[in-house]
Structure 1
């Protein structure tokens, strides 16, 4: 069974889905997760136009960070943003870094890198556009750092992100998180652990969803 997970490091809903999916899959064997990039802030120029100063950018991000309070009542977005490290942050740099991790350790490397980068962003208030932060993630998950430094700004990494985006668009995916089960059934948005378990149980047992009705991505 394969689950293709389209996501962005800067997406709070992806943060929740990632945690739930990791927890659920700890109970299963034989489920492979394929990781795909999808930029929610695809233009630095557009971000600068909407938020000229770094303070403006933090104000803009406040609503995104506040989304996590729906799922984690003790989460304090103000405390994270007051650290002042997050300013004009856009999607491409951390997603290219995820691809650089994938080049070394496949989907597991991508997942490790993505998960820690999200922790640093949403919990640590760190700037995941900063080279030092991105390199520190590579160090912490045990990548070959010299290779990572060559790869995370490479044309190959950028092309890999763009190709994932084009694939998502061709499938009609317009937002993340999005999970595609066995290259067919589409799960949109944040779902409960129980929901995810039911889909996985059905697909592993019957080869298709039964109790939860899912449409193929081309039927959306």
Structure 2
């Protein structure tokens, strides 16, 4: 599906494609939250999270360290890969995030995305997204284990048995695939990616100022302010509804 559900007249919908295993996605989430905090209509913004897998082929089982994976992916030495991780850790720290790449356990995120969809149905989508990102980048949790996902979901208020059953049945697998298909249809190749008002895209973990400016621009275009009448000496004749003023009289026809 490629169509967006339109926002209600008093809302601005922001669709965000993101992966739990993406360090810039956590940074982007914090920067978007900072932009939203300074946006006057923040209470009228509806955020919808969408699934995106940076590496759908990665194994679900524990494997190589993040440093070794980066070295192999970019053709760097492990020392150079560690420098990349150190730089990312510093960037995250500037946003108040505490990354521990040495403890991180890379894994497939397909099931974790399913849990977010279930949580969204229960009004806890953002809380679940936040909990999984912290578990992955800060706490070194192995998100390829369904029981770990069940425990983390229970921490944000979901029913453990319901989560366990949903994962076993793959109840929300199609929702994840639909998100990914929609991303391809829109030409989204990297994350985070923000779609504002169903028509404007912002790519990457942009600064809070850039994101707030985008929010303001789209809000102004989709929610125009009422006209302000300029001062005038006296009422002027005109038509309103099916009645028009008669020149020189107080009558209307």
TM over 0.5: yes
1:96 alignment partner in structure 2: 114
2:49 alignment partner in structure 1: 35
Distance 1:172 1:151, change over 3 A: same
Native 8 Å contact 1:90 1:129 kept in 2: yes
1:70 aligns to 2:80 (yes or no) = no
Question: By how many angstroms is 1:56 displaced?
Answer: 5.0
Q: Please, what is the CA RMSD of the aligned residues?
A: 2.6
TM-score, normalised to structure 2, is 0.69
Q: Which stretches in structure 1 are left out of the alignment for 5+ residues? A: 209-220
TM-score, normalised to structure 1, is 0.78
1:4 aligns to 2:23 (yes or no) = no
Question: By how many angstroms is 1:150 displaced?
Answer: 1.2
Runs of 4+, deviation exceeding 6 Å: none
1:86 aligns to 2:105 (yes or no) = yes
1:25 alignment partner in structure 2: 36
Cα shift readout 1:9-33 (whole Å, capped 9, x = no counterpart): 1111110011122233244121111
Listed as ranges, the matches of 1:146-157 within 5 Å are 146-157=161-172
Native 8 Å contact 2:118 2:172 kept in 1: yes
1:166 aligns to 2:175 (yes or no) = no
Count the aligned residue pairs.
Answer: 196
Listed as ranges, the matches of 1:96-175 within 5 Å are 96-105=114-123, 109-175=124-190
Question: By how many angstroms is 1:155 displaced?
Answer: 2.7
Cα distance between partner residues in 2 of 1:75 and 1:103? 27
1:214 alignment partner in structure 2: none
Cα shift readout 1:52-95 (whole Å, capped 9, x = no counterpart): x8245662166685424234269775xx3444x615x1121211
Normalized per residue, the structure richer in helix is: 1
Q: Give 1:54's match in structure 2, choosing from 57, 60, 63.
A: 63
Distance 1:167 1:75, change over 3 A: closer
